Amino acid sequence: MNSAIKRMLAGFVGIGMLMGGQVFAQRSYPTQYRGRVSAPRTYRVAQQPGPPDTTAEPYWLPEEPRADAYSSQGPLRRPPPSNARGNADSEELYPDLMPPDRYQETGCTMMPGIENGLWDGCDAGDCCCVCGGGYCTPPLWYTEQGARLLTRSRPRPQSLGNIVFPYYNTLSDGSTVFGGLSYLELDNTRSASYDVAPGYYATVGRYLGRDSQDRDDFLEFTYWGMNTWVDSFAVAVDPEVVQIPIGDQTAVFTAGRIVTPLVISQWALYSANRTVPAHPFGVGGFDFVERQNFSLHSEMHNWELNLRLRPRGRPDQLVLHPNGRWRRECQPSAIMSYLVGLRYMTVGDGFLYHSEGTVVVNDQSYLTSADYNVQTQNDLFGLQFGAEMLFRRCKWNWAIRSKVGAYVNFSDCKQYIANQVTEGYPLSDVRFNEDLRARRQQAAFIGEVGFSASYKFKPNLTGRAAYDFMWITGIALAPEQVEWVYVPVARDNANGNIYAHGVTLELEWSW
């Protein structure tokens, strides 16, 4: 008696769940494969003995007629245990979740009562009917194509142009004495700033199979680059009469007051110990000029070959909808994937400096000009590791990702320093015509962290937006190679840093 009452109550509860609930889910889990094998295009469902009878009519409760067998109106019950599928020994058409020993592997074929939901006529397969993805449907190939917009940090400051003024000290008796040259900086290597530079981003991936840890393994090739930054800065002054005492004489000439640290370093000694400078007027073309300008040029390219290991999320579930049809749907999950691979990055940097002016001494005009050009090339090659935490919500996904790597930087630095003056220029006899080059190998580091969000427009088309931050250390930057000395030497200062950040917009196709 008690057993009969319990069965009756259980029946009422089941009918209430079907009538009052929007969706009743029945889960079935794919086989856990071991060893590296290709992803099978199969899925697990409750065993359906006997061949399907496509002419069988659906069974409904109670007696009221139904015009549409797939309508969501009216109650629904399971078919009676009769020859509903052409087999007298068949079980219910859609039984409850059965023991594991009653499951069987089923191919991607149409099954009565189970539909894909992606488009009309699509067979019931092993992918989610909402997003086209799922637990056991990694793509065989995929490619990501998009644009990456980056901005980068400026180099360390190096003084370029200064305007000078003679100053005098007042003695105790009220007289004045020449004290040297004071200066005010006009520009340095940070006066020019880099704008946002657009570039290209592409990834091509190939599915390798599932490993013994139940992870999907992918081989990825990534390229991004063509980001080019260009900027310039210029200063100009009017020529003035300059009077500078040198020992018992005073040099008087008309010129611009823009000078480089070549002059400042000389007069710093005079201010300290009253030593007469060896080159009080610097170098013709660089110092006492009217116009000075410089430009910066930088370009970046990146290639990567990575092995990505992505664990599978929670198994998909079969969901019974109010229209009496079953659909396979993926479940929300958080997945931590890893990558390891090789990376090659090139960073080219350029610095072009030019100054010119006219110096008038004793009514005689002299034209002067100078150039200081630096070109550096950094080739970084090394091993990197990365991780990505992906939060999957069917069509919507978002992730946090990071990568770090140690590299060897093969840097190359070229410098060209030259000045030109009219014959007989009286203020300086220093002439430059130097073509220098230096190379070195040094350890470097690249670190990245970023955030991304994606949305599946179609089963094989996904849109993604990401924002990334990147640090590069141990590289040679062209503006940081500038050195104001009277005897130039080849140098490769590879202790520069770049901080870059920007947005990436891309589309992913998979097949």
Considering only 139-148, 206-215, 366-375, which range has the smallest mean pLDDT?
206-215
Of 41, 48, 157, 205, nearest to 108 by C-alpha is 41
Domain end point (choices 91, 112, 133):
112
Does 2 have pLDDT greater than 70? no
What mean pLDDT, rounded, does the chain reach? 81
Same-domain check for residues 91 and 211: no
As for how many domains the chain has, the answer is 2
Residue 452 lies in a domain: yes
Residue 127 lies in a domain: no
Tokens of 215: 């992870």
Domain span including residue 480: 141-158+192-256+292-510
* Greatest mean pLDDT range, 90-94, 266-270, 340-344: 340-344
Same-domain check for residues 153 and 229: yes
Does 122 have pLDDT greater than 60? no
Predicted confidence (pLDDT) per residue in 273-318, tens digit? 777 888 889 999 999 999 999 999 999 999 999 999 999 877 778 8
286 SS3 class? coil
SS3 letters for 157-180?
CCEEEEEEEEEEEECCCCCEEEEE
Alpha-carbon span 116 to 121, nearest angstrom: 9
Q: Look at residue 118 in the predicted model and tell me its pLDDT.
A: 52
Same-domain check for residues 411 and 359: yes
Does 412 have pLDDT greater than 50? yes
Same-domain check for residues 145 and 215: yes
Length of the chain: 511
Same-domain check for residues 474 and 381: yes
Q: Look at residue 4 in the predicted model and tell me its pLDDT.
A: 59
Residue 276 lies in a domain: no
Of 247, 148, 144, nearest to 196 by C-alpha is 148
- Burial (CB < 10 A; 0-12, 13-18, 19+), residue 36, is exposed
Residue 270 lies in a domain: no
Q: Look at residue 446 in the predicted model and tell me its pLDDT.
A: 97
Q: Look at residue 403 in the predicted model and tell me its pLDDT.
A: 97
Of 129, 105, 104, nearest to 115 by C-alpha is 129
Predicted confidence (pLDDT) per residue in 45-55, tens digit? 333 334 444 45
Tokens of 129: 């009917």
Percent of the chain with pLDDT over 90: 56
Does 39 have pLDDT greater than 90? no
| C-alpha 120: how far from chain center | 39
